[in-house]
Amino acid sequence: MNSALLVNIFRFVLLLALQIIIFNNMNFLGYISPFPYILFIILYPVNGNKSGLIIASFLLGLIMDMFNNSGGAHATACLVLAYFRPSLFKFAFGLSYEYQTIKLNDVLTPERFSFILLSVLIHHLTLFLLEAFQLSFILDTLARTLLSTVFTIIICIITIYLIKPNKR
Amino acid sequence: MQQIFNFIYKNSNRLLFLLLLGISLSLTIQSHSFHRSKMISSANFLSGGVYERINNLNEYLNLKVQNDALASENAKLRSILFNVKDTSSIAKLDSIKGVKNENILISKVIHNSYNVHENYLTLNSGELQGVKPDMGVINSLGIIGIIDNTSPHYSTVISILNKKSQINAKIKKSNHFGSLVWDGKSTGFVQLVDVPRLASIKKGDTIVTGGQSVIFPENIGIGTIANIYTEKETNYYKINVRLFNDMTNLGHVYIIKSKDREELTNLEKREKDE
């Protein structure tokens, strides 16, 4: 239990640092940027404390807002993702799935991929809608969401493979 | 009573979510309204400090480019110095084109954003150096933005690449005024709107700051005209302006402390009160 907590705190700090130092400076074509810091929310233990996740995601988003001058857009997006995570599990893995045995950082299966895809999509859509905050930019917002989602997913999957504990 | 507690206990996650959602949404909405003090900004101890460290490293790697920029600016200043007509009076050292009567603070951009609709820069000088909200920020090429938030050591700047930014500007040769806005599309271009149809303009004309605002002195460079459109509904020109500055690559900047500003704002306030 304690080691899980430590792993999560370590992940929180490391992902934030990587996001701010490296990924915030990636601007593909000027406006497509990846946000792999949400891996913290995606990889949070399935049977972990739910209110803990909600509070941690809020703080995670708030710190990102502080660095990006985006008011509360990141905080809202992270919060929404953290709250809908259980429903996404149900959707991606099916109702009858044994939730205690889900492990995300393992070989990529269609279920795991669909879960990551949906999570990233929800987060990015909320984020970019709040960042633009105007319906006249809707097409631009959707384009940003889709392209950034692709970028983020690629980096997320590479990261998961890189940090996967190698048993074999 | 028991039931209320039961309800709160059962729905604790949902209530927590709603509470935090309320907070974050209100922060978002607040940040989108103009000129409100923001709590969550990069001008604070934590983010300012981190950005300064990162910038120190970047700066070291970019020394050559910065040296070139400084050398070319030196050359320009020197040419002004040597071409003074009256040799008995030496040109003022702070005479960046068009700047008179102003004090200039030298500062450095430690964080720059240009990929969202509302872009901000972070500078490494703050209240202790005399920076206050609503001061203008320029560099040797042209304008950059307006100070938004300050903390003791850092400050944030509303970049001209920000939907909220609106700056008074004019066409250099004809003195027709308009306001400078950004449509959020390209980092190299801003738009000058509300220019009357009477103005005779053509591609390549220079756009400079107008004298109507107290933030920027008159005649600071902005860019050149790239395209001209007419708006059907209003019969005003809408002009695409190619910026002199590369907003994606900023180093040292100057903050303008206007001496007349306080006097002018006081005067205008008195006019309104009467």
CB spacing of B40 vs A30 below 8 angstroms: no
Q: In this predicted structure, which of A130-134, B80-84, B155-159, B221-225 has the lowest mean pLDDT?
A: B80-84
CB spacing of A70 vs B118 below 8 angstroms: yes
Residues forming beta bridges with residue B167, ordered by sequence position: B180
Nearest CA distance, A54 vs chain B (angstrom): 7
What pLDDT is stored for residue B163 in this prediction? 85
The reply to whether A40 falls in a domain is yes
The reply to whether A51 falls in a domain is yes
Q: Is the per-residue pLDDT at A108 higher than 80? A: no
Which residues contact residue B40 at a Cβ distance below 8 angstroms, ignoring those fewer than 6 apart? Answer: A62, A65, A66, A69, A71, A72, B27, B31
- The total of structural domains in chain A comes to 1
Q: Where are the domains of chain B?
A: 2-26, 41-61+92-258
| Domain B41-61+92-258 grouped into CATH 1.10.3720.10 | no
The reply to whether A6 falls in a domain is yes
The reply to whether A99 falls in a domain is yes
CB spacing of B50 vs A67 below 8 angstroms: yes
Which residues contact residue B12 at a Cβ distance below 8 angstroms, ignoring those fewer than 6 apart? Answer: A51
Nearest CA distance, B146 vs chain A (angstrom): 15
Taking any CB pair shorter than 8 Å as contact, residues of chain A touching chain B are 20-21, 27, 30-31, 33, 50-51, 54-55, 58, 61-62, 65-73, 75-76, 79-80, 82-83, 130-134, 137, 140
Is the model more confident about A146 or about B9? A146
What pLDDT is stored for residue A77 in this prediction? 92
Residues of B in contact with A73 (CB under 8 A): 28
Residue A57's domain is classified under what CATH number?
Answer: 1.10.1760
Task: Name the residue range of residue A85's domain.
Answer: 2-163
The reply to whether A168 falls in a domain is no
Q: In this predicted structure, which of A38-42, A124-128, B39-43, B125-129 has the lowest mean pLDDT?
A: B39-43
Cβ atoms A141, A128 nearer than 8 A: yes
- Closest in A33, A71, A82 to B38, CB measured: A71
What pLDDT is stored for residue A98 in this prediction? 59
Distance of CA A110 to the CA centre of its chain: 18
Examine the predicted complex and report whether its ipTM is higher than 0.95. no
Give the per-residue SS3 of A44-94: CCCCCCHHHHHHHHHHHHHHHHHHHCCCCHHHHHHHHHHHHHHHHHHHHHC
